[in-house]
Amino acid sequence: MRLVRHLIDMPFDTLANGSVVTIGAYDGLHPGHEHLLGRVIAASRELNLPSLVMSFEPTPREFFSADAPPARLMRFREKFDALAAHGIEIFYCPRFAEGMRDISADDFIRRILIHGLCTRHLVIGDDFHFARRREGSIQQLRRACSALDYTVEQVPSVFVDGVRVSSTAIREALAAGEMQRATALLGRPYRMSGKIVKGKKVGRTLGYPTANVDLRRRQSAVLGIFAVRVSGLPGGPKDAVASVGTRPTFAGTKPLLEVHIFDFDEDIYGEYIHVDFIARLRSEVKYDAVEELVAQMHRDADNARLALAAAG
């Protein structure tokens, strides 16, 4: 998959006959997103045109809520890898800035969709809005179709147990610690991925060595102590207990994902791992004495093993 950050770098030779396009944040790549991407890939094959996803970095919601941005379900690399795995050919991800904020719906259609992305077929969800103050609508897109020689396909939402699947619904489930509901909405356990970095080795001195992963996001969708499974290392998935937080007992300030893998003691610095969140055990707590923390860590490890055994 080719990443394009500026329209000037768009491979227009590849887009000479047009493209099949979808637009959205695609945070979390949930079943609703997968349904949209499936239609993009199918239309791409039917029309023999390249598939293209347009997203923004930062996302519009992060831009407009800079002081309190919504939690990201995926960091940029995770989104890139997921889109590539779905077979998307071009990922256009410009920076969302003042100029994009103020673009009118008509200008967006003509300048971005038609002249920039060479759109011949556009696939969108049933809640799609775009351009300045979200003034652009499906009706406006359809009205411009004949004049600008493109078609629009609107894909219905996906529902699970009567709930519309959305990134917002998933964030709410994760924030509430309702991992089963989040898993049902996502169609899989919530996952964080990242490279293992060197920490202060506090966990090792307490008898719980951890693999530390830099979150690389301003807000985490999950906080607390969790039963997790780790993949990406030799030997298949491994059971573990994880903490997502600032380590208040040690006056930490930077959010970090710390993973203690059971019955495992190997040097894995620099490895890229995937952490699947199976069950939330408790909130992060500041302890007055290290001994209290260690006793709680023993309980957390036991509870994590039980939760993972129950999950199968």
Whether the per-residue pLDDT at 282 is higher than 90: the answer is yes
Confidence of residue 250 (pLDDT cuts 50, 70, 90): low
Q: Which residue has the higher pLDDT, 101 or 285?
A: 285
Q: Are 174 and 190 in contact (CB under 8 A)?
A: yes
Q: Are 187 and 30 in contact (CB under 8 A)?
A: yes
Which neighbouring-strand residues pair with 130?
Answer: 136
Identify the residue whose tokens are 């169609």: 187
- C-alpha to C-alpha distance for 51 and 117, rounded to whole angstroms: 10
pLDDT digits (tens, 9 = 90+) for 13-35: 999 999 999 999 999 999 999 99
Return the half-sphere exposure (C-beta side, CA atoms, 13 A cut-off) of residue 161. 9
Whether the per-residue pLDDT at 252 is higher than 70: the answer is no
Q: Are 28 and 73 in contact (CB under 8 A)?
A: yes
Whether the per-residue pLDDT at 53 is higher than 80: the answer is yes
pLDDT digits (tens, 9 = 90+) for 159-212: 999 999 999 999 999 999 999 999 999 999 999 999 998 876 666 676 688 899
| Across 253-273, average pLDDT | 88
Task: Name the nearest CA neighbour of 24 among 82, 76, 93, 78.
Answer: 93
Query: Radius of gyration over alpha carbons of the chain, in Å?
Result: 22
pLDDT digits (tens, 9 = 90+) for 59-94: 778 777 767 788 989 999 999 999 999 999 999 999
- Write out the two tokens for 228: 């997790």
Q: Using a cut of 0.85, tell me whether the model's pTM lies above it.
A: yes
Three-class SS of 251-309: CCCCCEEEEEECCCCCCCCCCEEEEEEEEEEECCCCCCCHHHHHHHHHHHHHHHHHHHH
Pairing of strands 19-23, 51-54: parallel
Domains observed in the chain:
2-157 (3.40.50.620), 190-311 (2.40.30.30)
Q: Are 212 and 198 in contact (CB under 8 A)?
A: yes
